[in-house]
Structure 1
Amino acid sequence: MAIERFVRRGRVGRARPRPSGAPVGPRRADLRRATLLAAAGTLFETQGVEATTVDEIALLAGVAKGTFYHYFETKADLIPALRERFSDAFMTRVKRAVNACGAGDWHGRLKAWIEAAVMAYFDMSALHDVVFHGAEMPLRQAMGDIPVVLDLAALLAGGNAAGAWAVRDAREVAVIMFHGLHGATDEAIVTGRTVDEIATLLSALYLRMIAVPD
C-alpha cells in the first residue's frame, strides 16, 4: 500500500525525455498507456465504469497494478483520456476519407465526410456512450468549437469560397449538420437502419440545403 500511495503521488515512473538519436516511433510508455486505455474501453463498454476495477484493467492490459498508477491517478482519469482517444480516432477516419477525394471535388469531399462520420459513429457508438453520456458531462454545451465541427466548418467554408455551395455562416451550418448527423445516426442504431441508408439520406439532404440558388 505504501508504494501504491507513493506512485499515486507521482514520485516515481515519470516519462523520461526521448534520448537524442532514439528511433522515431511510439515509445514503450506510449504503448503501455494505449494498452491500458484499450483495456479500460473494452471493460467499460461491456460491464460499465462503476463495475470495473483498476485490477481488472491492469489484468486485461497485461501489466502490474502499479503500472496503471504510473499513467493515471484514478480510474476517473481514464474517461477524459478515452474521450480524447475517441475524438482522435473519429477525426482520423474522417480526414482520411476526405483526403482520398480530389481537392476540387467539393461535393465528393462533403459526401465522404458524412459517410466516414456516420460509419465511425456506428462502429464506436458503445465507447461514445461511455465517455460522452456520463454523469460528469453537461446536459447542454456549445458545439461550435469542438474539433469535428470546426473541421466540417472549414470544409464548408472552402466549398463556399470555390462556389460549390452557398453558406453564409459555415460554423453555424456545421453545428446544425453535426447535430442532425448525430441524431439521425442514433435513430438508425436504435431502429436498425444501415450505415449506407443514413449516409445517403444525410448527404442528399445537406447538399440540397446548401445548394447554390438558381
Structure 2
Amino acid sequence: MQTPAPARPRTKPASIRLEELMDAAETLFLSRGVEQTTISEIVAAADVAKGTFYTYFASKTDVLRALAERYTQRFVDALEQTMQEHPADDGEARLRAWIEASIALYARTHAVHDVVYANHHHLDRANRERNALLQQLQGILEVGVASGLWQLPSPRVTASLIYAGVHGATDDLIATPEQDAAAFSAAVVEDCLAMVGARRPSVRPKKRG
C-alpha cells in the first residue's frame, strides 16, 4: 500500500499571512492611494477575513508603519550585502559601494518610499528607520578613521551630511530620468569621497606669462 501524502495545513504560518497582508496593502496603496484604499479591499486582496487583519493591525496607520519598517530593513540589508563584497577594513570601497547601492535602490523603490514615508519626518524627527541607515554609514566612516584613511571630527555628523546629500541628489535623478544614471552615480560618489578627504581635487598648474 502506498503511504498517503501528508495533509496540507489548513492555515498558513502567521509570518506568511502577515507578509501577504502587507504585500496586498502595499500594492493597493501604490495603485489607489492610502486614503482611497479600504481595509475591506486589503483583506479581499490578501484573501483573508477582516478579523485576521485586526489580529495584526489596528488601522491602516499601523500597516503604513509596518511597511515603512520593512522597507528600511530591506534597504539596510541590501546595502549590507553589497558592502560584504569588500573587505571590512577597506573603508573607501565600502563607502563607494554604500553610496552606489543607495542611489540605485532608492531610484528603483522611490514609489514605495514616498507612500510609506509621506510626512514621516514631521511626525517623528527621531526617525528610527533613518537612524538605522545613519548607523550603518557611520560605521563605515569610523573604520576609515581608525585606519587613518580620513580624519573626521564627527563621523556621525559626516554620515548625516552624506545621507542627506545622497538622498537629495537621488531625488534629482528621479525627477530627471533622462540623465545618465551611471555618470550621475559616479559624480555623487566622487563628491562624497572628496568630502571625507579620500579624494583630493587636482590642482591645475598656473599659466605662465
Moved more, 184-193 or 142-151: 142-151
- Whole-angstrom distance in 2 between the partners of 1:197 and 1:68: 45
Q: Does 1:37 align with 2:42?
A: no
**How far apart, CA to CA, are the structure 1 residues paired with 2:37 and 2:181?**
31
Match of 2:184 among 184, 191, 198: 198
Q: CA distance change for structure 1 residues 30 and 71 in 2, over 3 Å: closer, same or farther?
A: same
The 5-angstrom pairing of residues 1-214 of structure 1 reads 28-134=13-119, 137-138=121-122, 141=125, 146-192=131-177, 193-211=179-197
Residues 191 and 37 of structure 1, relative CA distance in 2, 3 Å threshold: same
For the pair shown, the structure with the greater C-alpha radius of gyration is 2
State the one-letter code of the partner of 1:96. Q
Question: Taking structure 1 as the reference length, what is the TM-score of the superposition?
Answer: 0.80
Is the contact made by 1:39 and 1:57 (CA closer than 8 Å) also made in structure 2?
yes
Residue type of the alignment partner of 2:98: W
Tell me by how many angstroms 1:212 deviates.
5.5
Q: Which runs of 4 or more aligned residues in structure 1 lie more than 4 Å from their structure 2 counterparts after TM superposition?
A: 142-145
Q: 1:196 to 1:76 in 2, by over 3 A?
A: same
Pairwise CA distance, 1:132: 1.2
**Which runs of no fewer than 5 residues in structure 2 stay unpaired?**
1-11, 201-209
Q: Distance in 2 between matches of 1:108 and 1:212?
A: 11
Contact 1:98 1:109 in 2 (8 A): yes
CA–CA distance in structure 2, aligned partners of residues 212 and 189 of structure 1:
27
CA offsets per residue over residues 73-130 of structure 1, 9 Å max, x none? 1122111111101110110110000011122322111111111111111121011101
Distance 1:78 1:143 in 2: 17
| Residue aligning to 2:207 | none
State the percentage of identical aligned residues: 36
1:159-184 C-alpha deviation (Å, 9 max, x unpaired) = 11111222121000000001101110
Which amino acid is 1:68 matched to? F
- TM-score w.r.t. the length of structure 2 is 0.82
* Structure 1 unaligned spans of 5+: 1-26
Q: How far did 1:142 drift?
A: 5.5
